[in-house]
């Protein structure tokens, strides 16, 4: 037993030595370490591979080919780099339209994106086409608020629906031992722009509700950094049906970073108060690459610094030859197509005065819709339709496919429904309520006289509604009204009455498959020449005095002549109306908050 103390002493000494060495080695074994993670982000690329002209008229900006070069540079600088996209990726260019979005997905695969959140325009071509893109994607496709119905036994989903099983709410990427949870959220406003036939049976859930289960789940999976990549934009004003950043931030302060999109704005960085979530958004068309840099302390297991900026993609950044090579043939085919001359304009078709005043472009679009409906063995008595692009000017002379894309940048289709004269009046009243808000639509086939008032809440009162010949509609008339698919979906909640009326069973809505752009192209091709015309479909009185319309032969704004300004001008750029439809709109993206103080080093 004498030995026991010696043995104990030995072990206690050994323990002491080991303990001491453990302490002495501690700085080397469990040393505090900072991991620097970079997240690059793009949004609202709208099919732009090549540089293009931005809203302000700056040429040679953006495009995926240019982004690719910068992405490669930054990846070389920091191998701990993730790359994400916030949606509206495939719709907007001829080359992407012709390849049904698949070329852009091919480029995303090539660039090894880590996540792609779907945007609203991804659904413009119906489920089949976006389903194919989702199937092609080697990139994780995200949409935490895209809900599939429950699949019933023995009734499997058709392939275009089954493809959406691949769309996940989130992905967790491990970067040098740090788990980054990337949650994707599209805009819940999709059903307010897209007809049910394009999106059913998918459902789009409100943001806060969709995240309720997902955020804790991502945390349970061990994510140490929470990034939301959403096809929604930050708004100074309260949230709306499509953009819900305020409520997301208020309900989920545990998010570290929100990468936004949809509103075509550039937000380099700011902190959303009081949650201190870093918000950033990379404008549109790849004109900026977004960059977030995070320092993560692996000892403290927390972010110690987060900062963001947006990098201008001007011609100081060369285009990536591999991206150009992968796109070469479809780009060449699209370029050739866009240059094709399809007819002649006998004069300048201008949009000056839109949306309040009738323009040549209104009539061109509506005449083309009328012709296309006749080919489908139907006719509309009345068309309610706006100008889709206030830069949509056709110049006198050759009209190319490219000109038609400018006039009709979207893949809208047309629906026709029946109404009584009283119901038509309701539609005309609803439209009048948008007069001061910039989303006023034009008329064709119906003559409307409005009284202008000084009441901002109700700036127009209907004086009379008559048929195309100026005669009142008989009270029992069944009037066939045509509108485009965007407005029939309520035009982003602007025209709920139009939608509700069109969807009534007694309205017998028929939706046609032809697209407005094709209708305009065919109209010009078949007629060979088109002439600008103003009919006087809608007119205004102030008191008893008519507010003059512009003459048919009014000069184009850039022809050197001074236009006769007889009409109240638009008071301000209407970016709210533009939102996602801002693709070709005026310079409407400049409204912004002054960024709050720098988000870094808090």
Question: Where on the chain is the footprint of Zn ion (CB under 5 A)?
Answer: 88, 119-120, 262, 580
Shortest distance, position 442 Cβ to Zn ion, whole Å: 24
Which CB atom, from 120 or from 207, has the smaller least distance to Zn ion?
Answer: 120
From 182, 193, 184, select the one nearest 242 (Cα to Cα).
Answer: 193
The SS3 of residue 459 is coil
As a whole number of Å, the CA-based R_g of the chain is: 28
Sign of the dihedral through C-alpha 138, 140, 146, 151: positive
- Spatial separation of the C-alpha atoms in residues 11 and 220, rounded to whole Å: 42
- Spatial separation of the C-alpha atoms in residues 395 and 360, rounded to whole Å: 11
Shortest distance, position 103 Cβ to Zn ion, whole Å: 20
Cβ-in-10-Å burial (0-12, 13-18, 19+) of 472 comes to: exposed
Which CB atom, from 110 or from 246, has the smaller least distance to Zn ion?
Answer: 246
Shortest distance, position 525 Cβ to Zn ion, whole Å: 31
Which CB atom, from 119 or from 386, has the smaller least distance to Zn ion?
Answer: 119
Residue nearest to Zn ion (CB): 580
Shortest distance, position 475 Cβ to Zn ion, whole Å: 43
Q: Where are the alpha helices (DSSP H) in 152-266?
A: 159-162, 196-199, 207-220, 245-251
Which CB atom, from 45 or from 215, has the smaller least distance to Zn ion?
Answer: 45
Are residues 465 and 473 in contact, defined by beta-carbon separation less than 8 angstroms? Answer: yes
Shortest distance, position 285 Cβ to Zn ion, whole Å: 13
- Spatial separation of the C-alpha atoms in residues 457 and 589, rounded to whole Å: 26
Q: Where are the alpha helices (DSSP H) in 340-444?
A: 360-375, 401-407, 421-432
Shortest distance, position 120 Cβ to Zn ion, whole Å: 4
Shortest distance, position 241 Cβ to Zn ion, whole Å: 13
Which CB atom, from 345 or from 579, has the smaller least distance to Zn ion?
Answer: 579
Which CB atom, from 90 or from 534, has the smaller least distance to Zn ion?
Answer: 90
Cβ-in-10-Å burial (0-12, 13-18, 19+) of 470 comes to: exposed
Which CB atom, from 62 or from 353, has the smaller least distance to Zn ion?
Answer: 62
Residues β-bridged to residue 110? none
Instruction: Record the tokens describing residue 504, joined without a space.
Output: 């009534």
Shortest distance, position 439 Cβ to Zn ion, whole Å: 16
Which CB atom, from 296 or from 410, has the smaller least distance to Zn ion?
Answer: 410
Tally of CB atoms within 10 A around 172? 16
End-to-end CA distance of the chain: 63
Shortest distance, position 189 Cβ to Zn ion, whole Å: 8
Are residues 402 and 469 in contact, defined by beta-carbon separation less than 8 angstroms? Answer: no
Instruction: Record the tokens describing residue 463, joined without a space.
Output: 């004086």
Which CB atom, from 119 or from 286, has the smaller least distance to Zn ion?
Answer: 119
Which CB atom, from 245 or from 416, has the smaller least distance to Zn ion?
Answer: 245
Angle between helices 64-77 and 102-111 (to 10 degrees): 10
Using CA atoms of 40, 166, 125, 109 in order, give the dihedral in degrees to the nearest 10: 40
Shortest distance, position 262 Cβ to Zn ion, whole Å: 4
């Amino acid at each position: 037993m004498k030995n026991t103390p010696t043995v104990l002493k030995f072990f206690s000494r050994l323990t002491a030595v080991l303990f001491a060495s453990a302490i002495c080695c501690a700085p080397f074994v469990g040393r505090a370490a900072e991991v620097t993670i970079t997240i690059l982000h793009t949004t609202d690329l709208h099919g732009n591979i090549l540089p293009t002209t931005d809203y302000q008229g700056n040429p040679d900006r953006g495009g995926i080919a240019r982004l690719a070069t910068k992405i490669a540079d930054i990846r070389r600088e920091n191998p701990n780099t993730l790359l994400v996209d916030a949606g509206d990726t495939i719709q907007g260019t001829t080359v992407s339209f012709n390849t049904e979005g698949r070329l852009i997905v091919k480029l995303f695969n090539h660039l090894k994106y880590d996540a792609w959140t779907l945007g609203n325009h991804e659904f413009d071509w119906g489920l089949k086409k976006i389903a194919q893109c989702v199937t092609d994607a080697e990139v994780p496709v995200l949409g935490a608020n895209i809900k599939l119905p429950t699949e019933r036994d023995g009734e499997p989903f058709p392939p275009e629906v089954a493809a959406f099983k691949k769309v996940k709410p989130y992905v967790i990427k491990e970067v040098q031992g740090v788990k980054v949870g990337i949650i994707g959220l599209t805009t819940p406003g999709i059903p307010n722009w897209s007809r049910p036939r394009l999106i059913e049976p998918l459902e789009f859930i409100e943001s806060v509700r969709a995240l309720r289960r997902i955020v804790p789940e991502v945390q349970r999976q061990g994510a140490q950094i929470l990034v939301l990549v959403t096809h929604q934009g930050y708004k100074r004003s309260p949230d709306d049906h499509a953009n819900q950043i305020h409520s997301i931030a208020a309900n989920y302060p545990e998010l570290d970073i929100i990468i936004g999109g949809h509103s075509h704005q550039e937000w380099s960085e700011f902190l959303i108060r009081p949650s201190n979530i870093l918000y950033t958004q990379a404008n549109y068309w790849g004109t900026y690459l977004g960059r977030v840099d995070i320092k993560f302390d692996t000892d403290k297991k927390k972010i110690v610094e987060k900062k963001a900026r947006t990098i201008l993609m001007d011609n100081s950044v060369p285009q990536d030859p591999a991206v150009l090579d992968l796109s070469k043939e479809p780009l060449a085919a699209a370029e050739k197509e866009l240059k094709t001359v399809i007819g002649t304009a006998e004069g300048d078709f201008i949009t000056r005065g839109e949306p309040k005043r009738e323009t040549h472009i209104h009539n061109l679009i509506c005449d083309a819709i009328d012709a296309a409906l006749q080919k489908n063995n139907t006719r509309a008595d009345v068309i309610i339709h706006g100008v889709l692009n206030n830069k949509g000017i056709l110049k006198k002379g050759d009209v190319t496919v490219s000109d038609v894309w400018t006039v009709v940048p979207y893949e809208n289709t047309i629906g026709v429904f029946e109404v009584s004269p009283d119901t038509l009046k309701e539609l005309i009243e609803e439209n009048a309520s948008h007069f001061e808000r910039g989303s006023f639509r034009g008329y064709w086939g119906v003559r409307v006289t409005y009284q202008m008032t000084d009441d901002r809440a109700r700036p127009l009162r209907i004086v009379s509604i008559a048929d195309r010949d100026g005669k009142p509609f008989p009270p029992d008339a069944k009037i066939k009204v045509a509108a485009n698919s965007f407005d029939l979906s309520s035009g982003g909640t602007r025209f709920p009455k139009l939608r509700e009326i069109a969807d009534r069973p007694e309205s017998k809505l028929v939706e046609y498959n032809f697209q407005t752009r094709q209708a305009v192209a065919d109209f010009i091709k078949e007629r060979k020449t088109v002439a600008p015309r103003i009919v006087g479909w809608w007119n205004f009185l102030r008191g008893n005095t008519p507010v003059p319309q512009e003459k048919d032969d009014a000069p184009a704004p850039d022809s050197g002549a001074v236009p006769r300004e007889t009409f109240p001008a638009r008071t301000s750029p209407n970016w709210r109306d533009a939102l996602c439809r801002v693709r070709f709109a005026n310079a409407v993206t400049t409204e912004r908050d002054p960024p709050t103080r720098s988000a870094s080093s808090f």
